[in-house]
Structure 1
Amino acid sequence: MTGLVVLIPIALALGLAGLAAFFWAARSGQFEDLDGAALRILIEDDDPIP
């Protein structure tokens, strides 16, 4: 029972930290161009690597 007293606040703190990290990433523009990274691999380089 005493383990739950310790683990529940830790789990809540980690969940809130993850939620805060998600909102920070969304506000800073990390999710703006989702298709660009997927299509960038299809672009051919002009100079081939020797």
Structure 2
Amino acid sequence: MESLYLLIPIALVFCVIAIRLLLWAIDNGQYDDLDKESWRILADDDSSDEKKDHKAHSGEEDGPST
């Protein structure tokens, strides 16, 4: 019985910490878009998009310059 006087407050502190971490994660957008990463890893055309973005930012063109 005496151990409950120690264990119950410890359990309550753990619950409060868990709830605060959950609320922090929700406020920081951890659960905003759950499907984006799962679809991104399945997409095959990521490398071609990166090449296009790199060329667009560096000023290169796809065809020969005249």
Question: Scaled by the length of structure 2, what TM-score is found?
Answer: 0.64
The aligned runs of 1:5-20 (5 Å cut-off) are: 5-20=5-20
The alpha-carbon deviation at position 3 of structure 1 amounts to 0.7
Aligned length: 47
Structure 2 CA distance for aligned equivalents of residues 40 and 2 of structure 1: 54
- What percentage of residue pairs aligned between the two structures are identical? 40
5+ residue gaps, structure 2, are: 49-66
Q: Distance in 1 between matches of 2:14 and 2:41?
A: 35
Q: Which consecutive segments of 4 or more residues in structure 1 shift more than 2 A? A: none
The amino acid of 1:7's aligned partner reads L
Displacement of 1:43 in angstroms is: 1.1
User: SS at 1:34's partner residue?
Assistant: coil
Whose Rg is larger?
2
For structure 1, the residue ranges without an aligned partner over 5 or more in a row are: none
